[in-house]
Structure 1
Amino acid sequence: MSQPGSELFFAVRPKLIGHYFGQFCLIMAALNLVTLVVSLLTAPDWRISLSYALIILGLLLAWLVLKRLRVSQRMQMNEAMVLAALVFLVVPFIMTIPLLVSDIPFMDALFETVSSVTTTGLSTLPGMEGKPLIFTFSRAWMQWYGGLGIVVFSLALVVRPGLSALRLAAMDEPDDLVGGTRAHARRVVIVYSVLTLSGIILWLVLGGSLRNGVLYILSAVSTGGFAPTSGSFADLPHVRLAWVVTLTTLAGALPLALYHQTWRDGLRPLLDNVELRLLILLIATMTLLVTLSMWSYGTPWSTAVHHAPLMVCSAQTTAGFSSLDPAALDPGSKLLLILSMLIGGGVGSTAGGFKLLRLLVLLTLIRHFVRTMSVPPNTVLRQKLGKKVLEQDDVQDALMIILLFIGAIVLSWLPFVAYGYDPLNALFDVVSATATVGLSTGIVGADLPTPLKGVLCVDMFLGRLECVAWLIFFYHRTWFGRKRDN
């Protein structure tokens, strides 16, 4: 297999894209079968169940047609990226059908499905209390398989070993690029399922109901943030249940490959992981700063101590659950949470943001620059992150992702300011969408102008695939040029 860099000079092959998209349709049909069963048992309107049945039928027909496109070639990296982008474009549109049947306007239905599949958790729909179980379950279920990475979950079962599934869903763990796609994905699915089951069991042991436990944990392990009630954590009967969900989001915000390494090699990989250390440090520091900020603006000390750690963990893991309305926070706390959301969780986790590892690379680069100022001109200093020597490509890729994130946020924030929204609140919600968090100061709602809903949908798409897949998708040489024959 050629190197990824050289493969980008070959245009994608539509026949190969179609073949693997057909395999994806089969996987999506199986995932929707779960939702169909729940709708048959709980849906108050038979049309909802029928819509899921028609979706499954349509996906199966697409699979039957596209599987006839026989291919023997290996997939190029740009083809994998195009397929990833295509998947995340198609799924939200398909899943709007049951919402349209429920008389939800198209733009709100699309916003809801984009938010679900990208594990964001923002919603323009009013109160959840009157919604049927099938509605809250379908949102949580979409977040669950969106967090796992639709592309990894589907392609891992059909793509030949040799192309790392980690890159396909922006889960590019730098030290885990050896295994084949299927082997890696099986490990990820097992880890993801164990984390989900563990969270549900702990929820039940601590006195939570099975229904809410499933809904909360499906959204928590995917760091999605959709709660079955409008008040999120504020509606829970016991604070211990909020911490069960929070611990599950923390587990989901760590690199999924790390759990397999720990199981295989003992605690050493866990103790040596630089992202875990930084995650703990950031949460502790931000919790202290947010607590002090809330207290300095008049919030009682006991209230600040109660809410600050829950809100910080939710922002840092990009989960989006909330124990209080973010609109009620003081400006200092909002700015701190914006920073937490922007950074996000670990590379190879279900969290959003530009990731802890890339922050570490940036800090290493700054440290290297300072060190070069105090040594002789011809001295060669290696840039090291933990035990890993950083190559030029590592630094370049990290800086590019950070720059693209910040650029997307600035360009998306300006229209909100032009519409007259408070600049700080607008920045908070734009960062929340781009980092796939789901916290909102109240700007996101049914009365949000349609163009701004579209802006946030684009932000959620960009954040889920970290902009890279979209750059390749819209790059003209991806589609036009010489194609590899074999």
Structure 2
Amino acid sequence: MSFALVFRIQGFLLIMLGLSMCAPPLVGLAYGQHGQQHFVLSIAITLLCGLSLAVCLPRTRKNISQREGFLIVSLGWMLASLFGCLPFLFDGTCATFTDAYFETVSGFTTTGSTILKKIEGLPLSTLFWRSMIQWLGGMGIIVFSIAILPVLGIGGMQLFKAEVPGPVVEKIKPRIAETARSLWKVYALLSAAMTLLLMLCGMDLFEALCHTFTTMATGGFSTRDISIEAFGNPMVEMVILFFMFAAGMNFVLHYWSLHGKFKHLRTDREFFFYLAITAAATLLISLSLYGSGTSTSMLTALRHSAFQVVSIITTTGYSSVNFDTWPHFSKLILLLLMFIGACAGSTAGGIKCIRGLLVCKVGYRELFYTVHPHAVSSVKVAGKPVAEPILRSVVVFVVLYIIIFFIGALFMAQCGLDPVSAISASATCLGNVGPGLGTVGPYGNFAFIPAIGKWMLIMLMLLGRLEIYTLLILLVPAFWKK
């Protein structure tokens, strides 16, 4: 393993991060908010460290091994969060390093859990940076790097595989750098369309941009203390709902659809599985809200249930209402959706629909084998058999996911959280959702959790965003052996 190569690439990542930091202070100045020294200092430190690593370390081979890919991606996310939290520290937004790192990891991993109590009083530059890191983390900071840095494009497949969510990686271009660029173009195009629509619905440019960043990233950070509920605008909710759902789809499907090739969408089993779960959950919660008297009309129940179901299954985490006051049945469905997540190849977290679909098919096959022990059967998706190694990897992933969730929940309970809050805190951070239930619900935050608990949640957020294997493999002794 070439550590010089690993850290040299980290240098390039920090350079890009430092350049990205230039946008928030410019936004602040544009709105008449002076005193952007905290960003100037953060930019200087980040660029200096990045240039030191990129320039001073010797040039080595450009091809990246699989082990180096895992290390680059894992280290890249940790370092991006480390330097990305500097503005929060320097301007006093976060009182401690733990809080600043928690907020930044929550941003980059598009989780949306927050320790901030008064969001609306923050400087606009800080709010913009808080939203921007979610947008950068949504499609993936490593994928972004592959798209624009030729030095990473040569060995980019290992990085791409280590970061892109899902059991398989689908290329839409011969070269992985071209695939990364194509996905980012789709991401940017959808972001531009959403910003325009939000402005047409009455949002100003700043809030439209911030909510576009956090919607397309399925991140959920808002510029308002009570999230989307603060706007009280059904049209805004509809626009955000549509783009949350779109962001939960595989971006490869968006690419083909924009090129007029709708066959890919019509034949994608995961998309229809995602659509079916969303529709079923919306209907069940609507009936629960209306039947319990929580909503005065079925239309209102549908409006709020649809928004929250899409928000949770896509792991965005916005709230248009305090769903923690909903009936237990509705809250249990939302909790289950935190585990499922949206589609592979999207910006969403969670287990992913394709894995859920494959686990169901594997389960059915095992039942079939019980009745017909000598039969030979393969698991198929869209008529194509799925390789056994992929099925094994999917099942192991789901098992690991559940084990890690329980460890996280027990740890949170040990930190003093009540059972509902502990369970939902673990689920929401591992699934990169954002708000949970109880004391960490949509009207709460994570500020009260002790520092050791926050570090546990930070680890869960990183594990969830990097699909467990990428980070967990670093703990395997064989990984470090030649």
Tell me the TM-score normalized by structure 1: 0.91
Q: Does the CA contact (< 8 Å) of 1:39 and 1:48 recur in 2?
A: no
Which of 328, 331, 347 is the matching residue for 1:331? 328
C-alpha displacement of 1:37: 2.5
Q: Does the CA contact (< 8 Å) of 1:84 and 1:168 recur in 2?
A: yes
Partner of 1:167: 161
**CA distance, structure 1, for counterparts of residue 248 and residue 179 of structure 2:** 18
Partner of 2:317: 320
Q: Does the CA contact (< 8 Å) of 2:429 and 2:461 recur in 1?
A: yes
Which of 390, 396, 400 is the matching residue for 1:404? 400
Question: How large is the Cα RMSD of the aligned pairs?
Answer: 2.0
Spell out the pairing of 1:233-248 with structure 2 (5 A cutoff). Answer: 233-248=228-243
Partner of 1:386: 382
Q: Does the CA contact (< 8 Å) of 1:249 and 1:319 recur in 2?
A: yes
**CA distance, structure 2, for counterparts of residue 55 and residue 432 of structure 1:** 32
C-alpha displacement of 1:233: 1.5
Q: Does the CA contact (< 8 Å) of 2:315 and 2:341 recur in 1?
A: yes
Spell out the pairing of 1:250-289 with structure 2 (5 A cutoff). Answer: 250-264=245-259, 266-289=261-284
Q: Does the CA contact (< 8 Å) of 1:116 and 1:139 recur in 2?
A: yes
**CA distance, structure 2, for counterparts of residue 194 and residue 244 of structure 1:** 15
**Can you list the C-alpha shifts for 1:74-102, whole angstroms capped at 9, x where unaligned?**
21112111111001111111122211122
Partner of 1:14: 3
Identify if the C-alpha distance between structure 1 residues 454 and 175 changes in structure 2 by more than 3 Å, giving closer, same or farther: closer
Secondary structure of 1:319's match? Answer: coil
C-alpha displacement of 1:372: 2.5
Partner of 2:470: 469
Which runs of 5 or more residues in structure 2 are unaligned? none
**CA distance, structure 1, for counterparts of residue 432 and residue 456 of structure 2:** 13
**Can you list the C-alpha shifts for 1:59-117, whole angstroms capped at 9, x where unaligned?**
44335434x42122521112111111001111111122211122221222111111111
C-alpha displacement of 1:39: 4.1
**CA distance, structure 2, for counterparts of residue 282 and residue 419 of structure 1:** 34
Which of 36, 41, 46 is the matching residue for 2:36? 46
Partner of 1:29: 18
**Can you list the C-alpha shifts for 1:393-415, whole angstroms capped at 9, x where unaligned?**
11111112211211111001012
Q: Does the CA contact (< 8 Å) of 2:13 and 2:50 recur in 1?
A: no
Partner of 2:175: 180
- Structure 1 stretches of 4+ with a deviation exceeding 6 A read none
Q: Which amino acid aligns with 1:378?
A: H
C-alpha displacement of 1:334: 1.7
Partner of 1:4: none
**CA distance, structure 1, for counterparts of residue 400 and residue 237 of structure 2:** 34
**CA distance, structure 2, for counterparts of residue 166 and residue 276 of structure 1:** 22
Identify if the C-alpha distance between structure 1 residues 425 and 291 changes in structure 2 by more than 3 Å, giving closer, same or farther: farther
Tell me if 1:229 matches 2:230. Answer: no
**CA distance, structure 2, for counterparts of residue 261 and residue 382 of structure 1:** 28
**CA distance, structure 1, for counterparts of residue 174 and residue 351 of structure 2:** 25
C-alpha displacement of 1:33: 2.4
C-alpha displacement of 1:340: 0.7
Q: Does the CA contact (< 8 Å) of 1:36 and 1:52 recur in 2?
A: no
**CA distance, structure 2, for counterparts of residue 162 and residue 176 of structure 1:** 16
Secondary structure of 1:80's match? Answer: helix
C-alpha displacement of 1:35: 2.8
**CA distance, structure 1, for counterparts of residue 273 and residue 166 of structure 2:** 18
Tell me if 1:83 matches 2:72. Answer: yes
**CA distance, structure 2, for counterparts of residue 389 and residue 19 of structure 1:** 41
What is the number of equivalent residue pairs in this alignment? 468
**Can you list the C-alpha shifts for 1:97-144, whole angstroms capped at 9, x where unaligned?**
211122221222111111111101111111212111111110110000
Partner of 2:366: 369
Q: Which amino acid aligns with 2:81?
A: P
Q: Does the CA contact (< 8 Å) of 1:413 and 1:427 recur in 2?
A: yes
**CA distance, structure 2, for counterparts of residue 47 and residue 292 of structure 1:** 53
C-alpha displacement of 1:335: 1.3
Q: Which amino acid aligns with 1:144?
A: W
Q: Does the CA contact (< 8 Å) of 2:294 and 2:326 recur in 1?
A: no
C-alpha displacement of 1:286: 0.6
**Can you list the C-alpha shifts for 1:159-210, whole angstroms capped at 9, x where unaligned?**
2446425313133473624732211111111111011011111112233221
**CA distance, structure 1, for counterparts of residue 376 and residue 399 of structure 2:** 27
C-alpha displacement of 1:231: 1.2
Q: Which amino acid aligns with 1:451?
A: I
**CA distance, structure 1, for counterparts of residue 311 and residue 277 of structure 2:** 12
**CA distance, structure 2, for counterparts of residue 290 and residue 426 of structure 1:** 23
C-alpha displacement of 1:238: 1.3
Partner of 2:138: 147
Tell me the TM-score normalized by structure 2: 0.92
Identify if the C-alpha distance between structure 1 residues 450 and 329 changes in structure 2 by more than 3 Å, giving closer, same or farther: farther
Spell out the pairing of 1:87-98 with structure 2 (5 A cutoff). Answer: 87-98=76-87
Tell me if 1:416 matches 2:412. Answer: yes
Q: Which amino acid aligns with 2:357?
A: L
Identify if the C-alpha distance between structure 1 residues 363 and 117 changes in structure 2 by more than 3 Å, giving closer, same or farther: same
Question: Which moves more between the two structures, 290-299 or 271-280?
Answer: 290-299
**CA distance, structure 1, for counterparts of residue 46 and residue 28 of structure 2:** 13
Identify if the C-alpha distance between structure 1 residues 175 and 130 changes in structure 2 by more than 3 Å, giving closer, same or farther: closer
Q: Which amino acid aligns with 2:95?
A: P
Q: Which amino acid aligns with 1:251?
A: A
**Can you list the C-alpha shifts for 1:23-52, whole angstroms capped at 9, x where unaligned?**
222322332222342244454433223223
**CA distance, structure 1, for counterparts of residue 462 and residue 479 of structure 2:** 19
Identify if the C-alpha distance between structure 1 residues 36 and 52 changes in structure 2 by more than 3 Å, giving closer, same or farther: farther
Question: Which moves more between the two structures, 256-265 or 215-224?
Answer: 256-265
Identify if the C-alpha distance between structure 1 residues 19 and 195 changes in structure 2 by more than 3 Å, giving closer, same or farther: same
**CA distance, structure 2, for counterparts of residue 261 and residue 64 of structure 1:** 36
**CA distance, structure 2, for counterparts of residue 247 and residue 59 of structure 1:** 40
Q: Does the CA contact (< 8 Å) of 1:326 and 1:439 recur in 2?
A: no
Which runs of 5 or more residues in structure 1 are unaligned? 1-11
Secondary structure of 1:159's match? Answer: helix
Identify if the C-alpha distance between structure 1 residues 38 and 300 changes in structure 2 by more than 3 Å, giving closer, same or farther: closer
Q: Does the CA contact (< 8 Å) of 2:7 and 2:53 recur in 1?
A: no
